[in-house]
Amino acid sequence: MARKIVITSGKGGVGKTTVAVCLAAQLAKKGQRVVVCDADFGLNSVDFTAGVEELSSYDVIDVIEGRCRAKQALIRHPKCPNLYILTSRHAAPERYVSPQSVKLVLDGLAPQFDFIFIDSPAGIDDGFHRAVATADEAIIVTTPHLPAVRDADRVVTMLKSYRLEKLQLVVNMVRGDLLVLGECLSPSDISELLRIPLLGVLPEEYNLSCDVFNTHKSFKLIANRLLTEKGKIFDPSRKYSGLFGGVRRALKKRL
Ligand SMILES: Nc1ncnc2c1ncn2[C@@H]1O[C@H](COP(=O)(O)OP(=O)(O)O)[C@@H](O)[C@H]1O
Ligand SMILES: [Mg+2]
């Protein structure tokens, strides 16, 4: 039976969709059967991020409105047979989609999969509640920037009322050079501030997710921790410590 995990955040643009797709791809590479459901009905970027935008014919709304069965709407990723995408192409803001209807679709798929990631819209509006109502667990994504952390705090407060089995934190776009200099909040500080355990850390990298199957090693560590509940957390500051690290810091400053 699939673990249904909503990927959520307070602020937009912090990397929810990237985390949902790249983490799903890592787990699929390890042999897990994974679905990523696009529940961000406003932006619908899962298909693009996964590189399957040209393959979609039916989407989750088609399933809810009875035009096809859930299995027909799943896009099997051409590069990874264990990874399936359930898109939401039909962004129609005026159309009401109830949380129960999305939950029914995902509950129907759950027995045949190991993980279902639900990519949520940012913020705490209807779309957030709809996405969270389908899940058993949540991953909150934030960057180390104060506005993102403050908004994440509001989301964590809302999430606590859902009594999910697990809330875990991913801190994305962490700059190792700033961490070494103490110029940004550290992932462990953020975890303490938000009072939720740290699942993983991702560095700010220009081409972090160019190819979802050759992602940065930090995604592999997160996938491991999700499966085993233990294992290393990526340390973006390592590259910037010591003599060579100092040179790298100096070069980064010049960019
Ligand atoms: N760690 C990172 N380093 C650099 N760019 C990133 C990183 N994570 C995400 N991005 C980029 O940031 C943008 C927003 O990411 P996205 O996953 O769409 O955010 P969200 O779903 O939260 O709105 C995308 O262009 C994505 O490629
Ligand atoms: Mg997104």
Q: What is the pLDDT along the chain (255 residues), one digit of tens a residue?
A: 999 999 999 999 999 999 999 999 999 999 999 999 999 988 889 999 999 999 988 999 999 999 999 999 999 999 999 999 999 976 566 678 899 999 999 999 999 999 999 999 998 899 999 999 999 999 999 999 999 999 999 999 999 999 899 999 999 999 999 999 889 999 999 999 999 999 999 999 877 765 777 778 899 999 999 999 999 999 998 888 777 777 777 777 766
Sign of torsion, CA 8 13 19 20? Answer: positive
Pick from 229, 233, 224, 222: which is nearest to 7 by CA?
Answer: 222
Which residues line ligand 1 at a C-beta cut-off of 6 Å? Answer: 9, 12-18, 45, 172-173, 202, 204-205, 208-209
Q: Whole-model pTM?
A: 0.94
Q: What is the DSSP letter of 92?
A: -
> What's the total number of domains in the chain?
1
Mutate to test the pocket of ligand 1, among 14, 16, 17, 18 (most ligand atoms within 8 A of CB): 18
Sign of torsion, CA 45 118 175 216? Answer: negative
SS3 string, 21-65, reads HHHHHHHHHCCCCEEEEECCCCCCCHHHHHCCCCCCCCCHHHHHC
For residue 41, give the CATH number of its domain. 3.40.50.300
Q: Which residues of 53-83 are buried (b: 16+ CB within 10 A; e: fewer)?
A: beebebbbbbbbeeeeebeebbbebeebebb
- The DSSP bridge pattern shows strands 34-38 and 137-142 to be unpaired
Ligand 1 center to 209 CA (angstroms): 8
- Closest ligand 1 atom to Cα of 40: 21
Q: Which two tokens stand for residue 89?
A: 């192409």
Point out the ligand nearest to the CA of residue 141: 1
Which residues are bridge partners to 7 per DSSP? 119, 139
For 219, the domain range is 3-254
- Closest ligand 1 atom to Cα of 203: 1
Distance of CA 14 to the CA centre of its chain: 10
Of all protein residues, whose CA lies closest to atom 11 belonging to ligand 1? 15
Lay out the sheet containing 34-38: strands in order across: 75-76, 83-86, 34-38, 115-119, 3-8, 137-142, 166-174, 198-203
Residues 6+ positions from 69 with CB-CB distance below 8 Å:
63
Please give the pLDDT value at position 248: 76
Query: How far apart are the two ends of the chain, measured CA to CA in Å?
Result: 47
Ligand 2 center to 9 CA (angstroms): 10
- The DSSP bridge pattern shows strands 166-174 and 83-86 to be unpaired
Ligand 1 center to 15 CA (angstroms): 4
Point out the ligand nearest to the CA of residue 222: 1
Of all protein residues, whose CA lies closest to atom 8 belonging to ligand 1? 15
C-alpha–C-alpha distance, residues 131 and 139, integer Å: 12
Point out the ligand nearest to the CA of residue 14: 1
Of all protein residues, whose CA lies closest to atom 9 belonging to ligand 1? 15
Q: What is the DSSP letter of 111?
A: G
> Is residue 84 a contact partner of residue 112, using CB atoms and an 8 Å limit?
no
Distance of CA 199 to the CA centre of its chain: 12
